[in-house]
Structure 1
Amino acid sequence: MAIYHFSVKTVARSAGRSATAAIAYRAGEKIYCEREGREHDYSRKTGVEYKEIYLPEGAPKHLKNRERLWNEVEQRETRKNSTVAREFEIAFPSELNQEQRLAMLEELCASIVDRHQVAVDACIHAPHTGSGSDERNYHAHILMSTRKLTPEGFTEKTRELDQKHSGEIEHWREHFADICNMHLDMAGYTARVDHRSYKDQE
């Protein structure tokens, strides 16, 4: 039975967090944070199956470098309590293989970039079965800038993702369910996922 998981989180300075530390952990890399003046080293982390940066058309090419991208994100925010990044955490249907997971991720990330014109950095994590994780728990962390990215750099905030009444989060939950179901169908599975709560499904 295919399971559905899509959660939304934020990386906020008010909680003592930084975008550079968040992406270093998710990507399993060593990232130096210029704002904090320290290095976040998660290069020994295992289980990162895939990672890729997705940028709007015409965005500065140097931002394909992970360390430079997230340092610019941090430097663009001046307030001590700024929200510096957003994260979609998704789970892949266990029925699908690595190639199908990658196709799903690319489709979702391209849609996010196209709709909101933000920078997206996505990492697929394999389950840590040695530490008791479910062997089906392939999931992805999709970290995105809170500001639009243009050829001139980062500009205004994407407030629509902060506002519940905008319907944007529900849009992405439904869109990801549609992607899951399309790929399950293409792979020949009859299982389907539903982004709605059990209450809404009645």
Structure 2
Amino acid sequence: MSNLATWFNPSLQVMQRAKGRSAVAAAAYRSCTFLHDERVDIQHDYRKKGGHVSTELFGVEGLKLGMEDIGTLWNAAEKAENRKNSAVARELMVPLPHEWTDEQRLMCVRGLSEMLVSRYCVAVMASIHRPSEGDNDHVHIMFTTREVDSQMNFGKKTRILDDMKTGEVSKLREEVCRVVNEHAKANGSGWYVYAGKFSDVDASHIPTKHIPINSTQEFRELMEVENKEIVEARTELKRIMTESQEVTSQLNLALEAIATEAKKEPIAPIIEPVVPSTEVINGVPEWVATSSPFSEPTPPKPTPKKIQDVKADSSPSPLSISLNYRHAYQEVRKAYTKRNEVRDIARAWIEELKELEDDPPSPGARIFSKVVKGLGLRDTVSIYEEKIAKAHEQLARCKKHDERLTAIINDPERKRKYFEWQQWPEHRIRVADYEATLPDAPRRYPNLLANSRNNPSPTSPQPEPLNSEPWNNVANKQQFDYSDSPYYIADEPK
């Protein structure tokens, strides 16, 4: 099966005047050019902006567009709208594979733009970006909200993309995936993109949570910790499912082999033990006197009184025990590190709550807010209350994470395995020897191996100095007290 591109998440947004958006300003930013917005008489200069690769214009049949027509196209799009809350443009942002060449990405973008032109009869501007840091190649595809003819006259609105009941947005997403997959196949890429949920294709896939672009730094850090845990759990779940499938396959083969053997060789019946007779006839034992005269007399062989079931030794191997101890050690250390990160975030939210409580809105502001709310507008008191509620929500989230991580750290079985791994070097030596046999695996604990083999001590543990263990610090023996601040409210904010 091809590689599923889990990073693929094309987004469609609408640029509205009510939100302060301008098609001319957006086009200047995405094409990194200088444009003049004739409607509001404002100039937008983004010629020094980095990360721009290329920009191309596409129109309906007969409409020839070049780079010099960028300002003309989007100023005309602005003039075609008269309402103050009009939608002036739409934008489709699509991630592009970093492994492709610039020419391959450009051909794919042209295919996407031509699909939009033929499907909705709109004018399109596609700008490919590549940030200086990372491999986040992507394209911004801006297109008009109205149909455009060959003389650049704007016609009726493409309402089909505004009504969610028509399902056109989902169909558009499927078309984007179809075009990208066709280019991936032509480029020989071993992966594909999917318009639905990734869990429909990969049962082990766990989706991460979306981080809004306007999130605060503290909220972003907290969500990044959660998404990191999800990615780690996704890998572990895939490994467990693969091992489960292998075990199931081996079990089925073993059952088939047992059934085949059972058909070939029937199970021998249990025979009662035969005890040789001790009677003597004319000075000769009975079993000799009653035997055939044409064969050597053979004494009967006693059979066991009953057949004993032989149970296989199901005890784990020493290597499995050592690997289990190391896994528990890594779990505790990882939980300890993440808990410290969560508590730092919680302290920051408590400080923010304190600052908010120290600077509440004045009585005059509260009176004025009632008037502003009557007009349907947001006021400073509402914004202040939203910040308070958000801080309480984040503290509750931190507390939930703290309790879960503390439970992992204080689990008695994990703690026992943790210290077993720390105190007995034999486990680490056994794991290191095993990993040394793996292909391209780096050798771990070189100093420990050298010292332990030169001075073996199989009967006594060799404790090592513990650095910042979860149970050493007295402050860490108790759970972080989120209620130590008078600004924290345990109940969910209303």
- 1:157 equivalent in alignment to 2:157: yes
Letter in 2 for 1:168: E
Q: Does 1:57 align with 2:61?
A: yes
1:130-145 matches, within 5 Å, as: 134=134, 136-145=135-144
Q: CA deviation at 1:60?
A: 7.0
- The separation in 1 between residues aligned to 2:57 and 2:126, in whole angstroms, is 6
Provide Cα deviations, 1:1-46, integer angstroms capped at 9, x if missing partner: 5331200011100001100000000000111000011101111111
Contact 2:39–2:79 (Cα < 8 Å) also in 1: yes
Shift of 1:177: 1.4
Residue 99 in structure 1 maps to residue 103 in structure 2 = yes
Distance across 1 between alignment mates of 2:198 and 2:65: 44
Q: Find the counterpart in structure 2 of residue 68 from structure 1.
A: 72
SS at structure 2 position matched to 1:65? helix
The 4+ residue runs of structure 1 with deviation greater than 6 A are: none
1:182 deviates by: 2.0
Give 1:62 shift: 8.3
Q: Distance in 2 between matches of 1:7 and 1:66?
A: 23
| Residues in 2 aligned to 1:40 and 1:48: alpha-carbon distance in whole angstroms | 16
Kept in 1: contact 2:56–2:66 (CA 8 A)? no
Question: 5+ unaligned residues in a row in structure 2: which ranges?
Answer: 204-494
What is the aligned partner in structure 2 of residue 193 from structure 1?
193
| Separation (CA, whole Å) in 2 of partners of 1:146 and 1:137 | 27
Shift of 1:61: 5.8
Provide the aligned length of Structure 1 versus Structure 2.
197
Q: Which letter does structure 2 place at the counterpart of 1:34?
A: E
Q: Does 1:147 align with 2:146?
A: yes
Contact (CA 8 Å) 2:90, 2:142: kept in 1 or not?
Answer: yes
Say yes or no: does 1:9 pair with 2:13.
yes
> For 1:188 and 1:50, how far apart are their aligned partners in 2?
24
Secondary structure class of the residue paired with 1:68: helix
Deviation at 1:115, TM superposition (A): 1.0
Q: 1:124 aligns with which of 118, 128, 144?
A: 128
> CA contact under 8 A between 1:30 and 1:42: conserved in structure 2?
yes
Larger Rg: 2
* Structure 1 position 185, deviation (Å): 2.0
Instruction: Sort the Cα spacing of 1:81 and 1:110 in 2 relative to 1 into closer, same or farther, 3 A.
Output: same
Return the alpha-carbon distance in structure 2 between the equivalents of residues 83 and 70 of structure 1: 13
Greater per-residue strand proportion: 1
What do the CA deviations read for 1:34-78 (whole angstroms, capped 9, x no partner)? 001110111111111110010101337689600111000001100
Q: Secondary structure at the match of 2:175?
A: helix
| TM-score, structure 1 normalization | 0.90
- For residues 72-83 of structure 1, the aligned pairs below 5 Å read 72-83=76-87
State the partner residue of 2:275: none
Residue matched to 1:36: 40
- Distance verdict in 2 for CA 1:99–1:62, change over 3 Å: closer
State the TM-score, normalized to the length of structure 2.
0.38
Structure 1 unaligned spans of 5+: none
Contact 1:95 1:184 survives alignment (8 Å): no
Distance 1:42 1:126 in 2: 16
SS in 1 for 2:191: coil
Superposed CA RMSD: 1.9
Are the structure 2 counterparts of residues 61 and 90 from structure 1 closer, same or farther at C-alpha, using a change threshold of 3 Å?
Answer: closer
Give the partner amino acid of 2:159: R
Amino acid at match of 1:31: L
Moved more, 63-72 or 159-168: 63-72
Which SS does the other structure have where 1:148 is aligned? strand
Structure 1, residues 104-125: CA drift from partner, whole Å, max 9, x if none? 0001101100111111011000
Aligned equivalent of 1:178? 178
Q: Deviations over 1:57-101 (max 9, x none)?
A: 133768960011100000110000000000000001223111110
Mean Cα deviation higher: 10-19 or 192-201:
192-201
CA contact (8 A) 1:59 1:151 kept: yes
Which structure has the higher relative contact order (CA within 8 Å, separation 6+)?
Answer: 1
Could you tell me how far 1:167 is from its partner in structure 2? 2.1
Greater share of residues in helix: 2
Shift in alpha-carbon separation, 1:191–1:182, aligned structure 2, 3 A: same
* Percent identity over paired residues: 37
Match among 89, 92, 111 for residue 88 of structure 1 = 92
Alpha-carbon distance in 1 for matches of 2:194, 2:115 = 19
